[in-house]
Structure 1
Amino acid sequence: MTPNPAPTPADPAAWAAYLAEGNATQPRKRVAADVLLRDSSGRVLLVNPTYKPGWDLPGGMAEPNEPPEQTVVRELREELGLEVTVRGLLVVDWVPPHGPWDDHIAFVFDGGVLDIEPPRPHDDELSEARFVSLDEVGGLLRDRMRRRLAEAVHALREKRPVYLHDGHPIG
């Protein structure tokens, strides 16, 4: 007995079902999206999450089928009441499995310069937000985020996005 051949696009319903089955078995990646926002003094906006140690760039995890750049816009609106415009991509960072977490892809986008007072958190996920000089971030950020932020600042200066593995440039 010969196995049934895979459907073809000539049978659209069977083809769609075949592709959906393949899609359902593919691995899924979590996606994080953050934004680099600066003030006119060159300080960067950091947020202090209540659910993990250390400070972070503003942003968060993407919802299903949500583009990363829209994740940033949604998260900043929800958490800080800010309306931001994404000005370009700075970093893509593959983060390996760690602790209980599988790997994920982290994006950092350029949010430009905002001359505002630090916004107040709008939900319980953040305890504080403030602009911090690049010299001060070392004591606030965890190692991976500190490396990612340094690469984002470098990418902004060079006007060229960078791809990282766990905060380290490739090559």
Structure 2
Amino acid sequence: MTEPDTRPLYERDPAAYRAHLTEGNARQARKRVGVDALICDDHGRVLLVDPTYKPNWDLPGGMAEANEPPLDALRRELTEELGLHLPEDMALVCVDWVPPHGPWDDSVMFIFNAGILTPDQTAALRLADTELGAFEFCTPNQARKRLRPYVWARLQAAITAADAGTVAYLHNGRPVS
């Protein structure tokens, strides 16, 4: 009589192990990933954009594509929509889990601190994509009036975290204690 092979599946049958992982991956939840930038001008105003496909103003950024790292997605979106090329070392300042709403599943939103644009960078901004109808640097009061309440809360948390050199973690715009 032969002894049963007690080695783990990944050693005993690598193909079966890979099939097991593939099946598990297919059943696990997928999350949408959104990326935004906290961008200011030399007067301390925050850059907002007016998307043509939804009713409210927003932070510059967009959705990550499949298997795209969040920071790469942000750099791509800023280039595509505003012709803005920023360095790779933007600091993460906010992560916000957004629950399912309307037709959308839950998502994870990242805000990276892109810093203060130089006057030359500000002057070079342009609408490079039909997804945006306008952009404007806004005071906090202007931003509060233009943004949806949970986006305003996310922006406030990102500004506070950027000033403190930390990262805010939120659930639907609210700090998690």
User: TM-score higher than 0.5 here?
Assistant: yes
Which of the numbers 2, 14, 18 marks the counterpart of 1:12? Answer: 14
Q: Distance in 2 between matches of 1:51 and 1:118?
A: 24
**1:102 — aligned with what?**
105
- Supply the RMSD in Å over aligned alpha carbons: 1.4
Q: Distance in 2 between matches of 1:93 and 1:32?
A: 10
Is 2:155 the partner of 1:149? yes
**1:76 — aligned with what?**
78
Q: Which has a greater percent of helix?
A: 2
**Per-residue deviation, 1:118:** 6.8
Tell me the TM-score normalized by structure 2.
0.90
Equivalent runs, 1:9-48 vs 2, <5 Å: 9-10=10-11, 11-48=13-50
**1:54 — aligned with what?**
56
Is 2:105 the partner of 1:111? no
Find the structure with the greater CA-based Rg: 2
Q: Distance in 2 between matches of 1:165 and 1:49?
A: 24
Aligned identity (percent) is 51
**Per-residue deviation, 1:41:** 1.1
Give 5+ residue unaligned stretches, structure 1: none
- Could you say what secondary structure the match of 1:136 adopts? helix
Question: In structure 1, what residue type is equivalent to 2:9?
Answer: T
Q: Distance in 1 between matches of 2:90 and 2:71?
A: 10
4+ long deviations beyond 2 Å: none
Is 2:165 the partner of 1:159? yes
